[in-house]
Amino acid sequence: MDIIRLLPDSVANQIAAGEVIQRPSSCLKELVENSLDAGASRIRVIVQDAGRTLLQVIDDGQGMSPTDVRMAFERHATSKIKEAADLFSLRTMGFRGEALASICSVAQVEVMTRRPEDELGTRLVIHGSQVMEQEAVQCPAGTNIKVKNLFFNVPVRRKFLKTDQTELRNLLSEFYRIVLVYPQVQFTMVSQDEILSDLPAGTDKQRIESVFGKSVRQPFTGRFVDIKVETDVVSVHGFVGKPESAGKNPQQYFFVNGRFMRHPYFHKAVMTAYEGMLSADAAPSYFIYFDINPESIDVNIHPTKTEIKFADDQIIFQILLAAVREALGKFNVAPSLDFDVAGRLEIPVVSPSSAQPSSAYRPVTTHDSSYNPFNRMAQHDRPQTDWQRLYEAVDRSQPEVQPQLFDCGVELSKCYQYAGRYILFALGGSLMIADQHRAHTCVLFNKYSQQMAIARSASQQLLFPEVWEVSPEDMPVVDAMADDLRKVGFDMERLDRNSFSIQGIPAALDAGGTVPALQDILASVKDTRSSMREDWCNRIALSLAYDTAISYGTVLSDEQMMDLIKDLLALKTYKVLPDGKAIVTEYEQAEIEKRF
Ligand code: ADP
Ligand code: MG
């Protein structure tokens, strides 16, 4: 008996849908791209429940004839390529003819469309690939497509969807990837009857500004420099962030021929151009647009089409690197840089006289490689097993402190500060070296976590309230964590759709650091990909702890060090931070003895 048969179209379409339509945001992408391919100059996106119940796209593009609209929902039906050779000269966003067929196999679709030259348009209703209705109607020129109850017939896929908040964030990021390449098109995005994004037609720069400008208060020109280069292989233009405006929440976008793309290799080129200009945890924003002969790229390697292969990627790497370097150099941004030492590998040598105990203090980055406290000991030929004597060389000016019993139940004699960033002390016969910044971060992390649990904190009122502007994309996240931010001391109130007024801040925070600290928290919470409140709270507490802990280079008095170490040792976990960073290392006496 023969056993092979062709799958019914509805099944084949659902299988294809698995690849093309993974979530509401992929559906949004396909629909908006179709509108752009149809030459629309105004596009309105409307969603309900993050696209779960409704995703609607209305355009003023070329519309479809009654026959074409029926065809459009068939598999491999496209008006955009006729033969295989066309694949290599693509200038449209879509070409596979799969999207509408996929969408209508997993949703209830209603479309109204009219070509400008026709008097009547067509209304077509399809549920799970089944045509339910088709009729002639009066409607505006263009296409209006409603996708209702996505995955209504595929419960497993429905279960894969994340919280509305996450899905809405996905919708917005997808939306941004598109609107950033079509500044000449007017876009509106509406969710739950509220306008989330309203973008007038304009230039590249204006578009970036209207999408992201609100979340960063400096004007565009203050934060970005232009890049531009034209070669036979590729033309590149765009904007790269000045190093000093780099942060933890960068916006990084590559586009090729009007299409968003990911390209880790080209990303590396950009980052290489910034080498030595950024502090360890800051990354620059960039918006870089490539124009290239479509024949030298292959967009076909992934159905969702964000990975793109370039025939000349090594040459483009060099071109890009040079262009970004030149842009950063030309505007003379490099020399005025202020290096943040905290995250660098070199250990700064800080002299107490030049150091101030302020978090704004940046230590000098000279590294005295000949300095080694062990050397001095080596000159004395008596064997030393007592680590305290070993470190007499480091700091003779400090009077001896008698061993004391602290409430952490540990006997601690004396602490020494080394290189402006380590605290040395003896514990249970071992030599302990603690990283001062991380030790304090750990103590504060525990404190903030407790405050969040009991909802009590020390807040300092600001004389001049700060305004925190949040991009619409991040608003759902901020709304969800606002209560927890209040618990750690941020006295905040919603000002309008995109901003908060911050009237009070955690007692330990510098007023000037308010917005950066909030941005850090936001970046860290977004990074969890968890929707568990507990995970969020941990992120908030840790991020705030990092931002308020004593910095490297801060000279600590004996008493401050003792207090800090005492607080640290009183914690249940004091050797590593929740993000896995080591706080203390330990050298057993036997290990030290081996060195002599
Ligand atoms: P593709 O975009 O890859 O061609 P789709 O399934 O997304 O495949 O769309 C199929 C066809 O339907 C398109 O080629 C186009 O002719 C037509 N179409 C889809 N959306 C629109 C729209 N908004 N306006 C006009 N025509 C459209
Ligand atoms: Mg398409």
Q: pLDDT per position in the chain (596 positions), as tens?
A: 787 877 777 777 777 666 778 899 999 999 999 999 999 999 999 999 999 999 999 999 999 999 999 999 987 777 766 666 665 566 666 666 788 999 999 999 999 999 999 999 999 999 999 999 999 999 999 999 999 999 999 888 888 888 898 999 999 999 999 999 999 999 999 999 999 999 999 999 889 888 886 655 456 667 888 999 999 889 999 999 988 888 887 889 999 988 888 888 999 999 999 988 888 788 899 999 999 988 888 766 555 667 788 888 899 999 999 999 988 886 554 443 333 333 333 333 333 333 333 333 333 333 434 434 333 333 333 333 333 333 333 333 333 333 343 445 556 778 999 988 999 999 888 899 999 999 999 999 998 888 888 766 777 887 777 889 998 888 888 988 888 898 888 989 888 888 898 988 888 888 778 898 999 899 888 887 676 777 888 888 999 999 889 988 888 998 899 999 999 998 888 888 888 888 999 888 888 888 88
Q: Whose CA is nearest to atom 7 of ligand 1?
A: 99
DSSP-H helix ranges across 505-570: 514-528, 533-548, 558-569
Q: What is the pLDDT of residue 235?
A: 94
Q: From CA 409, how far away is CA 277, in angstroms rounded?
A: 45
Could you give phi then psi for residue 59, rounded to 5 degrees? -130, 165
C-alpha torsion 175→181→187→190, nearest 10? 10
Whether 60 is in the pocket of ligand 1, judged by its Cβ within 6 Å, is no
Cα 100 to ligand 1 centre (Å): 7
- Confirm or reject: Cβ of 13 under 6 Å from ligand 1: no
Compute the distance from residue 73 Cα to the ligand 1 centre, in Å.
Answer: 9
Distance between CA 547 and CA 181 in Å, rounded?
36
The finding on whether 64 has its CB within 6 A of some atom of ligand 1 is yes
CA-to-CA distance for 584 and 569, rounded, in angstroms? 10
Nearest alpha carbon, ligand 1 atom 17:
72
Ligand minimally distant from the alpha carbon of residue 33: 2
Rounded to the nearest 10°, the torsion over CA 273, 176, 165, 513 is 40
**Residue 243 has which token pair?**
């190093």
- Pocket test residue of 36, 78, 87, 300 for ligand 1, highest count of atoms within 8 A of CB: 78
Q: b/e for 276-293, b at 16 or more Cβ within 10 A?
A: ebbbeebbbbbbbbbebe
- Helix, coil or strand: residue 123: strand
For ligand 1, atom 14, the nearest C-alpha belongs to 78
21 in contact with ligand 1, CB cutoff 6 A:
no
Q: What are 276's two structure tokens?
A: 């030595």
Cα of 46 vs centre of ligand 2, distance in Å, is: 18
Q: Which ligand approaches the C-alpha of residue 98 most closely?
A: 1
Ligand 1 site, residue 12, Cβ cutoff 6 A: no
Please give the distance, rounded to the nearest whole angstrom, from the Cα atom of residue 359 to the centre of ligand 1.
57
Confirm or reject: Cβ of 548 under 6 Å from ligand 1. Answer: no
Specify the residue with its C-alpha closest to ligand 1, atom 27: 34
The Cα–Cα gap between 492 and 505 comes to 9
Q: For residue 143, which atom of ligand 1 is closest to its CA?
A: 23
Residue nearest to atom 12 of ligand 1 (CA): 72
Query: Residue 220: what pLDDT?
Result: 64
- The number of helices, as runs of H, and strands, as runs of E, in the chain is 18, 24
**Quick check: CB of 100 below 6 Å from ligand 1?**
yes
